A and B are shown apart, each in its own frame.
Chain A
Amino acid sequence: MLKILRLEFLFSRRQLVITLSIFSAYFSYMATQIRSPRVFIVLTSVMIGVAMPFLVLAREDKFKTASLICSLPVRRSTVVLGKYTATWGATVLGLGCALLLMAVFPFSKIPVGEVLTVKSLLITLFLISLIFAVILPFTIRFGLVGVIVLLVGSQVLGILALLITHMLRGAKDPLRVFFLPFQKGLKALFYHETTPGYLLTLLTLIIAFSAASLFISRVLYARREL
């Protein structure tokens, strides 16, 4: 697997530097605008969760190199494991970059002490693993086009849901109705009492989502025709 990681690093290092530079500028700006650590965590998780799979996996799609790697003496399951590890590696770098900027950037308004806690970090990783659980198998199976279809499809479904909600209930703010479950879920995550049991549950869920996603990706990649 180290061979795959080395290959992914060599292949993506330029993109990684570009992405981290953009992230640094973005997080620096956001740190001056946001006071709430919860908003910062959610925004950071979404940004990193969506960007890193693209960063690592889209390169293979662009250069159609999957047939090269799959012709080498390496199992496809190892290739997938390598891609997951590379994506998580890039994620840790992105997170590190965001946290460092938040802590040392002189104009940062975010209370560092509230973000740099085990609970906050676990919530961040939980949100990222949720996004990865959907996006990584999709990217691995269908490539960049698949993810674009997924994102556009989700937006179309969202719009349809809004329209239907609006028509059926005549709600003034259908967006609120649509995002209410997410909001409630996030609130429950952030405001739950920090007990060892809660932290352990979060950790277990992160591992479970990642393992399930990895399993699905391995099956999909094994079936992929190149």
Chain B
Amino acid sequence: MEYALEATGLCKEYPGFTLRDVSFALPRGYIMGLIGPNGAGKTTVVKLILNIVRRTAGRIKVFGLDNLAAETEVKSRIGFVLDEMPFYGYLKVDAIASVIAPYYKTWDSGRFEGLCREFELPRRKRVNALSRGMKMKLALAVALSHGAELILMDEPTSGLDPVFRRELLERLSGLIQDGRTSILFSTHLTSDLERVADYITCLREGELVFSTTRDEILEKWALVKGGPDLLDAATGGLFRGVRRGPYGVTALTSDKEEALRRLAGRDAVVERLRLDDLVFFLAHEGSPGREARYE
């Protein structure tokens, strides 16, 4: 299989935060969602791919090329949307395009103009005067105007209204239809990923929890709901996260088949998982002190 992006043993140390041994691979022509609670390391991973922070260890390959050794070539094939897009505030939208365009041989001015019209971007307005949502649209227009083969997006849907969010997700799905464009998409809004992502990579506190296909997650992981007696010797080791409430217990399992087998005949329900449940429970996985609270 041909990969657009391969991260192997990625490590980055900051004071108070360490990204440890993160590995994942994104095949060409697919969308990967990068999920995890705040401080999981999602933005760090995106920054490491762009080499705007230096990795402590590990290796990143983009289209089979090392992202450091072939930095310029790799970046010319990447489109990016950063969480806080640092545009030159005094410049107008058109001027932003004119200073960025010369860096890309494949820049398509007509496409940029078309995207500006489609996104209703005021091209004569200074970037400083744009709202956060509009700045995000500008970043998207820039990222999509040079035929990038890998698009990196760090929280691209934050600040966007639900209508445009939906349209953007449809556009992203459309982009990968050519089989050569791939997208890595970090977000808190996991419902967005349920619509478009083919692969999900989950991080927590700088560590990789899993990186696999969305279908496999939905097939293997599940929510189990039952009475207060759900947590007993028979279910020991089955759950990755537990939420206790006054009327019962909700738990996350990464082995749906095993859960169904062990809970057969008991008063418990095994339900389909949503990605936001997954992030919520994994954020509280571990010691009882970190158990999810039931409101």
A-side interface residues toward B, CB under 8 Å? 3, 6-7, 10-11, 14, 63-68, 70-75, 223, 225-226
In whole angstroms, how far apart are the Cα atoms of A11 and B86 in the complex? 13
CA of A79 to CA of B102 in the docked complex: distance in angstroms? 14
- Identify the interface centre among A3, A6, A66, A68: most chain B CB within 10 Å of its CB: A68
Stretch at the interface among B24-32, B70-78, B207-215: B70-78
> B14 — nearest CB in chain A belongs to which residue?
A225
User: Which residue of B has the minimal Cβ distance to A78?
Assistant: B72
Question: Which residue of B54, B73, B86, B102 is within 8 Å of A64 (Cβ)?
Answer: B86
What would 10 more interface pairs be, CB under 8 Å, given A63-B89, A65-B88, A70-B51?
Answer: A6-B102, A71-B75, A71-B80, A71-B82, A72-B100, A73-B72, A73-B76, A73-B103, A225-B53, A226-B52
CA distance A214 to B73 in the complex (A): 25
How distant is the Cα of A223 from the Cα of B56 in the complex, in angstroms?
12
Q: Would you list which residues of chain B between 63 and 118 have a CB under 8 Å from chain A? A: 71-76, 80, 82, 84-91, 95, 99-100, 102-104
Q: Which residues of B contact A65 (CB under 8 A)?
A: 86-88
Q: How many whole Å from A60's CB to the nearest CB in chain B?
A: 9
- A10-B47 in contact (CB<8A): no
Q: If A67-B82, A72-B75 touch, does A225 touch B54 (CB 8 Å cutoff)? A: yes
Give the CA-CA distance A65 to B139 in the complex, in Å.
Answer: 13
9 tightest A-B contacts by CB? A73-B75, A73-B76, A226-B52, A72-B103, A3-B102, A64-B86, A68-B86, A7-B99, A71-B50
CA distance A67 to B51 in the complex (A): 10
B47, B80, B90, B95 pick with most chain A CB within 10 angstroms: B90
- Least Cβ distance of B252 to chain A in Å? 35
Given the contacts A11-B88, A63-B88, A74 and B72 also touching, CB distance less than 8 Å: yes
Say how far A161's CB is from chain B's closest CB, in angstroms: 34
Cβ contacts under 8 Å, A226 to chain B:
47, 52-53
Give CA–CA (A223, B87) in the complex, Å.
22
- Kindly state the separation between the CA atoms of A73 and B148 in the bound complex, as whole angstroms: 12
Chain B residues with Cβ below 8 Å from A14 are: 90
Q: Which residues on B sit within 8 Å (CB–CB) of A72?
A: 75, 100, 103
| Chain B residues closer than 8 Å to A6, beta-carbon distance | 99, 102
Known: A67-B86, A226-B47. A11 touches B91 (CB 8 A): yes
**Cβ–Cβ contact B91 & A71, under 8 A:** no
Tell me the smallest distance from the CB of A134 to a CB of chain B, in Å: 25
In the assembled complex, the Cα of A67 lies from the Cα of B80 at a distance in Å of 11
Residues of B within 8 A of A67 (CB): 47, 52, 82, 86
Given the complex, which residues of B lie within 8 Å of A225, measured CB to CB?
52-54
- In the complex, 24 of the A-B residue pairs with CB atoms within 8 angstroms, ordered by the A residue number, are A3-B99, A3-B103, A6-B102, A10-B91, A10-B95, A14-B90, A63-B87, A65-B88, A67-B52, A67-B86, A68-B85, A68-B87, A68-B88, A71-B50, A71-B75, A71-B80, A72-B103, A73-B71, A73-B72, A73-B73, A73-B104, A225-B53, A226-B47, A226-B52
Q: Give the docked Cα–Cα distance between A11 and B126 (Å).
A: 12
| Whole-angstrom distance between the Cβ of B258 and the nearest chain A Cβ | 44
Name which of B47, B52, B87 has the most chain A CB atoms within 10 A of its CB: B52
A223 touches B54 (CB 8 A): yes
Residues of chain A within 8 A (CB-CB) of B102 are 3, 6
Output the least CB separation between A1 and chain B (Å): 11
CB-defined contacts of B50 to chain A, threshold 8 Å: 70-71
CB-CB under 8 A from B90, the residues of chain A are: 11, 14
What is the minimal beta-carbon distance from A2 to any residue of chain B, in angstroms?
8
Task: Give the Cβ gap from B247 to chain A, nearest Cβ, in Å.
Answer: 48
Instruction: Mark contacts of B25-55 with chain A using CB atoms, 8 A cut-off: 1 yes-contact digit, 0 otherwise.
Output: 0000000000000000000000100111110
Cα A72 to Cα B87 with chains together (Å)? 12
Q: Are B86's CB and A63's CB within 8 A?
A: yes
